[in-house]
Amino acid sequence: MSYLNANADIIIQAGTELKEVAGKYNNIINEFYPKLENIQNNGVWISGSDQGSASVFLRAVAKDKPKAQDLGVKINATGEGLIQYGKGLNVTASIKP
């Protein structure tokens, strides 16, 4: 009778690397949005009213912040899923008839 011989280390490594990418992505998001939110305060872009171009732009971009943060969470979850899948494959592969 044959058995499955699988090395899931590559899958586990891919999941680990994906989680690292998620961490770096989250760092970028966490640095970007506060800088963007302060753009009017640092003199780079001044808007004279609530309807000025800077205010309108910032409101539009701020709407994407939750989606951007959610993407980082999903990337991390995918990496964790790959790691768990790889660990499961290693267990399955080690069971011989």
Place of tokens 């800088």: 35
pLDDT 10s digits, 69-80: 999 999 999 999
pLDDT 10s digits, 21-68: 999 999 999 999 888 877 767 766 666 666 777 778 888 888 999 999
| Identity of residue 43 | G
List the chain domain ranges: 18-94
Single pTM value for the model = 0.74
Looking at residue 5, what DSSP letter applies?
-
CB burial string 14-24: b at 16+ within 10 A, e below: bbeebbeebee
| Identity of residue 60 | A
